[in-house]
Amino acid sequence: MTLEAWYMDSSDEDQRKPHRLIPNQPVFLDELKRLGVFYWKLNADIYETDPELERIRKDHGYSYMDIITIHKDTLPNYEEKLKMFFDEHLHLDDEIRYILDGQAYFDVRDKEDRWIRIAMNKGDLITLPAGIYHRFTLDETNYTKAMRLFVGEPVWKAYNRPADDFDVRQKYVASLQGS
């Protein structure tokens, strides 16, 4: 199974719903790659000893990792954190997430500023480039367990939109001009 992504509707319904356009407008991996979003499908059942994950970490310099479980019984200030994750923002570094269990969504902006929803399931590893506007939410199962990967020490700072004056945002936008 491959990653599934689609353009979102503009409904104000619960953020955890799929929000597909009618008819559905799928987005394929090559389009996500043009936005700087990369994807791997791994075996999450062996994440602790997976040679493919080790190779990816080595090749990309992902030296730090931790695991977060997002569920109302395990995450302090659960509702507040979900709202914070869903605020449109960018980071100064790439965001790398590997779903070890459960499901979730990442929403990213395309070149025309339209939302693309990326459905993340167990075994999906994704990288979002520094400077891309995005947000995160659970789906209606209200649970995911994810590995967070970083180059060096983790930086947890998110910059809510508008953040167009950051060099990393300007470099990201410039990188889209040729794609």
pLDDT tens readout for residues 96-135 = 999 999 999 999 999 999 999 999 999 999 999 999 999 9
Alpha helices in the chain (DSSP H): 29-34, 51-60, 78-86, 167-176
pLDDT tens readout for residues 105-116 = 999 999 999 999
Best CATH choice for the domain 4-9+19-172 from the list 1.10.3720.10, 2.40.30.10, 3.40.630.30, 2.60.120.10: 2.60.120.10
First to last CA, the chain: 26
The amino acid occupying position 9 is D
**Residue pair 104/142 in contact by the 8 Å Cβ criterion:** no
Q: The tokens 């939109």 sit on which residue? A: 161
Instruction: Give residue 138's pLDDT.
Output: 98
Dihedral (CA of 93, 98, 102, 103) sign:
positive
Question: How many residues comprise the chain?
Answer: 179
Sketch the domain layout of the chain as residue ranges: 4-9+19-172
CA-to-CA dists, residue 11 to 39, 115, 137, angstroms: 27, 12, 15
Show binding-site residues for Ni(2+). 89, 91, 95, 134
Show binding-site residues for Fe(2+). 89, 91, 95, 134
Show binding-site residues. 89, 91, 95, 134
pLDDT tens readout for residues 66-90 = 999 999 999 999 999 999 999 999 9
Percent of the chain with pLDDT over 90: 95
- pLDDT (average), residues 39-56: 98
